[in-house]
Structure 1
Amino acid sequence: MQAMIFLPVTALFVAVFALLQVPMTVAVGLRRAKSGIQFMDGGDGTLLKRMRAHGNFTETAPMCLLAMGAAELAGAPGVLLWSVGGALLVGRILHYGTLVTSGFGIGRAIGMILTLAPLLIFPGFVLAQLFRQ
């Protein structure tokens, strides 16, 4: 019987991000129901903001989490996983909140920086480990 590989830090972040995606998806659906718009945004600014915030989360979070899992498999120290994963979580919440409420602002920019950093740090760690061998 083969031992199972478990990535506890990444698994926790995957669970949290999956749970965060539920209210984002519901927010889009509720606006569609209220506005009667079943496809695209129909020119509804609120729906468009919710769709883009949900879409941006969906476009970036999975790749960050995959990179995090690869880093954990490659032996990344806990402090790196927790701090960069935490930055990603804060960044995604900040970006979503800013985009949905005002559409623009410093929160959106900081949110993207806190998202792009993990997209550089986690793969950077993996590549460093691979080329170190």
Structure 2
Amino acid sequence: MTVPIISAYAGGLLIIMQALLMVTVGLHRGKSGVSLGLGDDPVLERKIRRHGNLAENAAIFIVVLALAEITVVPGGVIKTIAIVFLAARLFHAIAMSTVIGSHGGEGSKVFVVARVLGALGTFGSFLALGGFLLYHLV
């Protein structure tokens, strides 16, 4: 059995990103005095969703990436999918740091594009990872 080193690196980077996003939520809660919920604060809502969205996607990704790595999927494929997923999650977090990226509106569309790249990269990573794993197992 192969030790899932690529998954470990990806997991390490994702947990650091998760911690940083968690801190931004906590700091905002301290400034705003909103200890639970949103408190009708759209900035806090964005920070919570940015943090939550990573948590929702990263956990299952890392588990399946590790399964793919220790079973049958080639290392080059694992690396590529991991890099795409990490980049996608970074794009999404950056996009969700702005009103334009989260809710649209006037201004630079760079953040809208970053959010789309984040969503598509995450979706594509999931499909590629699941597809390669099933293909190599069958």
Q: Percent identity?
A: 28
1:107 paired residue number: 114
Distance 1:96 1:56 in 2: 9
Q: Return the offset for 1:39.
A: 0.9
CA offset at residue 5 of structure 1?
A: 5.4
Q: Match for 1:79: what amino acid?
A: G
1:130, CA displacement in angstroms?
2.1
Query: Is the alpha carbon distance of 1:74 and 1:5 closer, same or farther for their aligned partners in structure 2, counting shifts above 3 Å?
Result: closer
Provide the residue aligned with 2:74 in structure 1: 77
Distance in 2 (CA, whole Å) between partners of 1:128 and 1:91 is 24
> Deviation per CA, 1:91-129, whole angstroms, max 9, x where unpaired?
001001101223241111110111111111111112112
Q: Please, which of 88, 92, 95 is the counterpart of residue 95 of structure 1?
A: 92
Per-residue deviation at 1:26?
0.3
| Count of aligned pairs between the two proteins | 128
Return the alpha-carbon distance in structure 2 between the equivalents of residues 80 and 63 of structure 1.
18
Question: In the aligned structure 2, how far is the partner of 1:51 from the partner of 1:41?
Answer: 8
Q: What is the TM-score when the length of structure 2 is the normalising length?
A: 0.87
C-alpha displacement of 1:66: 1.3
Q: Which amino acid aligns with 1:101?
A: T
In structure 1, distance between residues paired with 2:63 and 2:125 = 11
In structure 1, what is the equivalent of residue 64 of structure 2?
A: 67
**Runs of at least 4 residues of structure 1 off by over 4 A?**
none
| 1:34 aligned onto 2:41 | no
* 8 Å contact from structure 2 (residues 72, 137) kept in 1: no
Whole-angstrom CA distance in 1 between matches of 2:11 and 2:64:
12
Query: Which ranges of structure 2 fall in alignment gaps of 5 or more residues?
Result: 105-111
1:40 aligned counterpart, secondary structure: coil
CA contact (8 A) 1:67 1:119 kept: no
1:15 paired with 2:12, answer yes
Q: Quick one: which of 45, 48, 55 aligns to 1:48?
A: 45
Determine if contact 2:2/2:71 at 8 Å carries over to the other structure: no
> RMSD over aligned Cα, in angstroms?
1.3
User: Over residues 25-80 of structure 1, what are the superposed CA-to-partner deviations in whole Å (9 max), with x where a residue is unaligned?
Assistant: 00000000000001111111110000000010000011111121111122222221
Q: TM-score of the superposition, structure 1-length normalised?
A: 0.90
